Amino acid sequence: MRAFATALLASIASAKLLNSQDFEFANYIAKFGKNYESLEEFQLRFGLWQKWESEIRHLNETQTSSTHGFNHLSDWTAEERTRLLGRKNVMKTNEDTADNHFVANGLGYPASVNWVTVSPAVVNPVQDQGQCGSCWAFSATASLESAKAIFGGVLNKLSEQNFVSCSFLQGNLGCNGGMYGRAWNYAKTHPIESEASYPYTSGTTMVSGSCLYNSALGIQAVTSFTTVATDNASIMTAIAQQPVSVAIEADTVYFQSYTSGVLTDAAACGTTLDHAVVAVGYGNDPTYGAYYYVRNSWSAAWGDQGYVKIGQAPAPGVCGINQDVMWVTAK
């Protein structure tokens, strides 16, 4: 427990062995409410945190457009962080086939868009997917919620658990990953329940759970979904219409330790898609250039209150963000 870690640091301090890293780690434990059950776990987590501390220091010395720091992931093992990455990078099948494909073809779009600040609200607060590879479900619900809010005037809070536990026949694998297109295919014939009627549990249980879907409680369904061309003009035109689901590579410390600024280093971020998020806007930083404003599902304690700015570049894009862009139509 946290009291154990605090007592251990106190005993080290009394022996006059406490250094600056010890103090920093003690502050980290307090800030993020960390609980360690034994000396062995304390030593493991301290070692993992020290590795991150070294990498964060290097990033802040070499990266000019973004700032990096500690968060709740900073003492996690590689296996624990991998559980967050549930966007399956697999060959697409008929279950992933979109109803339409969109190319801007010279259509105009505003200089900047931020759906988070629209009133009345069309984007729900950032959530935490927890220890389950369900990012695809959080991306699918967030885009679907915003579509209904923008075009139907109602911002529902839909059930990610409904997708996680019930869309296996469409090719999703619950906590072992999935794709937002497959989730929307499920929702064409299964109106999704609300979060209140079908609450999210997989983040703490780390299992997908049995399907408990009640069609009588379904409140929102999918009419169709559309893929977007990989050029930035098409993507910005789509975002100007509504938030869109996107996939990125998110397994790097460069991405996972982001706190502010704009991620512009395509090499540092990579382009192998493993995580699903939602692009809720775009804009232009006066120093670091054009970016996409992206909503993550790792809690508001991650990044900049749960969001990250990813720089715009030709396809495949920074963090691969241009490669798998889709919007959904709700009913």
User: Measured at the alpha carbon of residue 141, what is the angle toward residues 110 and 262, in degrees to the nearest 5?
Assistant: 45
Q: How far apart are CA 230 and CA 37, in angstroms?
A: 47
DSSP letter for 66, please. Answer: E
What burial class does residue 288 get, using C-beta atoms within 10 Å of its C-beta: 0-12 exposed, 13-18 middle, 19+ buried? middle
By the 8 A CB rule, do 87 and 177 touch? yes
Tokens coding 168:
């296996």
What is d(CA 260, CA 252) in angstroms, rounded to the nearest whole number?
A: 16
Q: Which of 74, 40, 41 lies closest to 57 in space, CA to CA?
A: 74
Distance CA 225, CA 180 (A): 10
Structure tokens at 232: 């930035």
Element (H, E) at 152: helix 135-152
Backbone angles phi, psi at 226, to 5 degrees: -130, 135
E strand map for the chain? 66-68, 100-102, 113-114, 222-228, 244-248, 258-263, 275-285, 289-295, 307-311, 325-330
CA distances 77 to 46, 83, 164, 229, Å, are 11, 10, 24, 36
Catalytic residues: 135, 275, 296
Name the β-bridge partners of 67.
260
CB 262 within 8 A of CB 66: yes
